Copies of this chain bind each other. A is one copy, B any other.
């Protein structure tokens, strides 16, 4: 297979930096351009961004001139990753898709468009077929696919095998989210040190809707949302990386914690998602210790691509309680977009 040429949109922000870090040494993908807002354009990447990851900025990227967010300036690109804010994404991403490029976006702008797949390969790889509808309706040579919100990613991966095995009726989800999810400068230390913030604007709505969409069914080029109800409460806590989510789950067919554990441990995910470069052998790491998962210890499971699940026990009201940890800027953001692009290459959507 020919390696693909990749550009990063919004390359200077925290998610943009994660894309650069995670793509360093990627077997299929080569970053050939980095793009960002006018303010940064024209400067070498290393001067335009303040690199804040603990691994060094790859030398091959450091001296790349930052390009404007303009598809005409980015010739010969097969694939762009979008780490843009939602507002910018709304205008910029279609321009790239129209110009014939595949856009794998972490932005929320098109997550709910009926012809744009919201994808987690292990969960709903088949939804990628919406791409054909999208290209037909919009008359684009390229296309846009999106990955869900970081918190939803963890929830949907944990719920998928339970839904398949027992059917979901209702899910209560209370999240304790890391500050890296808010970007940079993001959350003021004045707000979050020695504190919990009980409001993350817009987050609960995203969690509630995206999860139903991901577990929905594609039929006749239309995704019907899953019918279970999700009630989310989102909180910010003084943690760098790794979102923790406490779930209470009501099933259609009651199951014991042992049965749930077996189903979660055996989860392999959609066939099409297996064996991709960023795809962990097991999408879920089921913890055996009573006090796990914990974000500091478990966020890096499977290089940040595994979602950790533990404390599977009965619920006095619903059927099961469990705790989920997901690396919010790897699996829940840049890593999720990269995995999506690998699926699309493998399935022939990106050539």
| In the complex, A323 has a CB within 8 A of chain B | yes
| In the complex, A137 has a CB within 8 A of chain B | no
| In the complex, A210 has a CB within 8 A of chain B | no
Chain B residues with CB under 8 Å of A233's CB are 174, 246, 248, 321, 323
| Nearest CB of B to A102, in Å | 30
Task: Tell me the A30-57 residues at the B interface (CB within 8 Å).
Answer: 52-56
Chain B residues with CB under 8 Å of A192's CB are 189, 193
| In the complex, A106 has a CB within 8 A of chain B | no
| Nearest CB of B to A180, in Å | 6
Q: Are B54 and A300 in contact (CB under 8 A)?
A: yes
| In the complex, A214 has a CB within 8 A of chain B | no
| Nearest CB of B to A280, in Å | 13
A180, A195, A237, A298: most-surrounded residue (chain B CB, <10 A): A195
Name A324's closest neighbour in chain B (CB-CB): B198
| In the complex, A318 has a CB within 8 A of chain B | yes
Picked from B52, B290, B318, the residue with its CB within 8 Å of the CB of A231 is: B318
Picked from B170, B172, B290, B296, the residue with its CB within 8 Å of the CB of A54 is: B296
Q: What bracket does the count of chain A residues touching chain B fall in?
A: 35 or more
| In the complex, A184 has a CB within 8 A of chain B | yes
What are 26 A-B residue pairs whose CB atoms fall within 8 Å in the complex? A52-B191, A53-B297, A54-B296, A56-B301, A172-B317, A176-B235, A179-B193, A185-B191, A186-B188, A189-B189, A189-B191, A189-B193, A189-B238, A193-B194, A194-B239, A194-B240, A197-B294, A198-B291, A198-B292, A199-B291, A229-B316, A231-B321, A233-B321, A235-B246, A238-B238, A240-B296
Name A293's closest neighbour in chain B (CB-CB): B198
Chain B residues with CB under 8 Å of A297's CB are 52-54, 195
| In the complex, A230 has a CB within 8 A of chain B | yes
Chain B residues with CB under 8 Å of A310's CB are 198
Chain B residues with CB under 8 Å of A186's CB are 188-190
| In the complex, A244 has a CB within 8 A of chain B | yes
- Alpha-carbon distance A328/B292, docked complex (angstroms): 24
Task: Tell me the A307-328 residues at the B interface (CB within 8 Å).
Answer: 310-311, 315-318, 321, 323
| In the complex, A187 has a CB within 8 A of chain B | yes
Name A170's closest neighbour in chain B (CB-CB): B317
